[in-house]
């Protein structure tokens, strides 16, 4: 909190008036970051063809990972850091954010007339998260390209849906 108040140019007391705890600050920052990211996604043009949508989505992911100070997906990193604190409010923000991204993908796929768009969106989320982790580990954006190729294969052959898991929330 000392570093944050110094960088913000306010006293630590003033910072605590806005955010009673570090957890409140983290939660608020993640909530604002989620709002901005979802607004940015909603502004993206949705190509009519699923293949073009996949290219655009994973292409932007690769571009994001090419930024000099890129350090992976903040929401995923936050949940990993808070893994032992299941009730932490930042985890709820991260869960809501990832659900909103998944819904955006499902809606975009439905607009492109992809069958079982919600199931394909879930699979694309898995490919995206894997690509992010591996790009961070290896510093190689070609993982986004590999994820895009795998996602396109999902669009060509629609697998039979699996039974819903009993462990699903």
Instruction: Judge whether 52 lies within some domain.
Output: yes
pLDDT of residue 69: 83
The CATH number assigned to the domain holding 81 equals 1.10.357.10
Give the pLDDT score at 153.
94
Q: Give the C-alpha separation, 122 to 112, whole Å.
A: 16
pLDDT of 104-128, one tens digit each?
Answer: 999 999 999 999 999 999 999 999 9
What would the pLDDT profile of 84-109 be if each residue is shown by its tens digit?
A: 888 888 888 889 999 999 999 999 99
Structurally, how many domains does the chain consist of? 1
9 within domain boundaries: no
2 is a domain residue:
no
- Examine residue 12 and state whether it is found in any structural domain, yes or no: no
- pLDDT higher than 90, residue 21: no
* Whether residue 31 has pLDDT greater than 60: yes
Residue 92, domain member (yes or no): yes
Mean pLDDT computed over every residue of the chain: 87
In a domain, 8, yes or no: no
Residue 41: pLDDT band with limits 50, 70, 90: confident
CB contact set of 128 (below 8 Å; sequence gap of 6+): 57, 58, 61, 147
**Residue 38, in any domain of the structure:** yes
pLDDT of residue 98: 93
- Structural domain for 134, as ranges: 18-156
**Which of 127, 143, 147 has its CA nearest to residue 135?**
143
Query: d(Cα 155, Cα 110) in Å, to the nearest integer?
Result: 12
Is residue 129 a part of any domain in this protein? yes
- Asked if 120 and 154 count as a contact pair (C-beta separation under 8 A), the reply is yes
pLDDT at 29 over 60: yes
DSSP state, residue 21? S
């Amino acid at each position: 909190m000392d570093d944050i108040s110094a960088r913000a140019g306010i006293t630590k007391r003033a910072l605590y008036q806005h955010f009673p705890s570090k957890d409140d600050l983290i939660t608020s920052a993640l909530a604002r970051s989620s709002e901005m990211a979802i607004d940015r996604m909603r502004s993206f043009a949705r190509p009519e063809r699923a293949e073009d949508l996949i290219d655009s989505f994973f292409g932007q992911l690769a571009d994001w990972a090419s930024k000099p100070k890129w350090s992976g997906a903040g929401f995923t990193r936050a949940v990993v850091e808070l893994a032992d604190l299941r009730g932490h409010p930042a985890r709820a923000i991260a869960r809501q954010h990832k659900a909103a991204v998944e819904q955006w993908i499902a809606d975009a796929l439905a607009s492109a007339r992809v069958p079982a768009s919600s199931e394909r969106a879930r699979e694309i989320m898995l490919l995206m998260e894997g690509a992010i982790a591996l790009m961070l580990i290896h510093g190689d954006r070609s993982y986004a390209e590999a994820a895009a190729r795998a996602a396109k294969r999902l669009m060509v052959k629609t697998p039979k849906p699996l039974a819903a898991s009993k462990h699903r929330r």
